Amino acid sequence: MKISEFKKLEKKITGQNFGESYKGINVMMTILSYLGNLGSIFLAYFFMSKVIGSAMTDNPVAVFISSVVILAGIELLKRDIFDKFSISFLKEGSIARGVLPLLIFSMLLISASFYSSLNGAKEFSSKSAQMDESKDNIVQVYSDSISNIYETKIVLIEDEIKAYKIKIDEKDVEQALINKDLQDRGYLYNSQKSRNKQLTEEKKYLDEKVDESEIKIDGLKEERDIDISEYEKDLTNETDSQKEDNSKNSFIFIIISTIIEFVILGGVFFNEYYKFRSYREFRDRIDKDPNYQKWMLYEEILKVVYPESALNSQKLPSNKAMIEMCKVNGMIVLPRDMINFLKIINSLDIIKTSGSSRYINKTRDLSFDVLKSHFNID
């Protein structure tokens, strides 16, 4: 390892504090948590709109607005309450009596949000009902189409049957006349006997043709029903396969909904942990660093001796008067501290000395910036 690489690595490991190291992560997690809120609202909408829509069936705009407002309110309240719980938990270090109500309220809101999101994810991803309806419609269209084709064939055969039966009826009438002659005379002529026999044979032939035609019709109907049944069976298998894939998609959306909830809670909690940890780290740094201690003291003194109403080149009061001014503002400043303060601001040209008098030499904002820069305060 080269010395330059070592120094770079050392700076990375020891040079950054928690706030600097995790600032990017905190920003990213916060952004993701807000995006998670939007995702949660999106998924939960499909459940909430269904519930509200059952009460307001004729006003889709009102259903949309009501659903979004309710869900957005739940998400914002959930963030706020869980945020307060997080900071209280971090301060207490445990679930103390004061933290418990926030925890309970947070869990109720989280449960309501999570329940809505889960059911909304199911509603959004589940297409089983639509698939079944689509299948039934397709089968009905196919059935109607096939039935029309077969119906054309059946009608032609039925017309043939009607023609056969008309001929049979005609021959029945002719035979009835021959039989009447037989009853009237007691006998038939040879030509009548021959004709009667011929009519019987022709009727038998026609009856056979009717039977054959009816068998054809039954065959066509059976063929039609089998065709429709096989098509419906194939389509049902295909739909079942699609429903199985859809069921997997529904499970994926449920997982996504769960992840979204954890992203929201993780982002909110980490943001408070980041601020709490950064505060503690900065507080420790102030407590241990004399420069921070001096800067904080001198900045407070400067606020008192250089009020917003003061003008540039304005004369400063005496040391004793400035110590009293600090006392009035709730600060106990020792004479030694006031002397050191005046030396510092004099060396920084914040004030200028003329004989025993001291005058303001810089603008108020610039004075604070110069003092801050002197102590290397970020």
- Give a three-class secondary structure readout of the chain: CCHHHHHHHHHHHHCCCHHHHCHHHHHHHHHHHHHHHHHHHHHHHHHHHHHHHCCCCCCHHHHHHHHHHHHHHHHHHHHHHHHHHHHHHHHHCCCCCCCHHHHHHHHHHHHHHHHHHHHHHHHHHCCHHHHHHHHHHHHHHHHHHHHHHHHHHHHHHHHHHHHHHHHHHHHHHHHHHHHHHHHHHCCCCHHHHHHHHHHHHHHHHHHHHHHHHHHHHHHHHHHHHHHHHHHHHHHHHHHHHHHHHHHHHHHHHHHHHHHHHHHHHHHHHHHHHHHHHHHHHHHHHHHHCHHHHHHHHHHHHHHHHCCCCCCCCCECCCHHHHHHHHHHCCCCCCHHHHHHHHHHHHHCCCEEEECCEEEECCCHHHHHHHHHHHCCCC
Q: What is the pLDDT of residues 204-220, one digit of tens each?
A: 988 888 899 889 889 88
How far are the Cα atoms of 6, 294, 313, 314, 354 from residue 360, in angstroms, in the given order? 48, 21, 5, 5, 11
Q: Does residue 265 contact residue 111 with C-beta atoms inside 8 Å?
A: no
With 0-12 / 13-18 / 19 or more C-beta atoms within 10 angstroms meaning exposed / middle / buried, residue 22 is middle
* CA-based torsion, 123, 127, 130, 136: positive or negative: negative
Q: Does residue 216 contact residue 96 with C-beta atoms inside 8 Å?
A: no
Q: Does residue 210 contact residue 161 with C-beta atoms inside 8 Å?
A: yes
Taking the model in full, what pTM does it have? 0.57
Instruction: Look up residue 91 and give its two tokens.
Output: 């301060």
With 0-12 / 13-18 / 19 or more C-beta atoms within 10 angstroms meaning exposed / middle / buried, residue 99 is buried
Tokens 């807000």 — which residue? Answer: 34
Question: pLDDT 10s digit of each residue in the chain, 378 long?
Answer: 566 666 666 656 665 677 778 888 999 999 999 999 998 998 888 888 888 888 777 788 888 888 899 999 999 999 999 998 888 888 887 777 778 888 888 889 888 888 888 888 777 766 666 667 777 888 888 888 888 988 898 899 889 889 988 988 988 888 888 888 778 887 878 888 888 888 888 889 888 888 998 898 898 889 888 888 888 888 878 877 766 666 666 778 788 888 999 999 999 999 999 999 888 887 787 777 777 888 888 889 988 888 877 777 888 888 888 999 998 888 898 989 888 989 998 898 888 888 888 888 888 888 888 888 888 876
Q: Is CATH 1.10.10 correct for 290-374? A: yes
Tell me phi and psi for residue 107, to 5 degrees.
Answer: -65, -35
How far are the Cα atoms of 148, 172, 291, 301 from residue 330, in angstroms, in the given order? 100, 132, 22, 11
Distance CA 87, CA 280 (A): 13
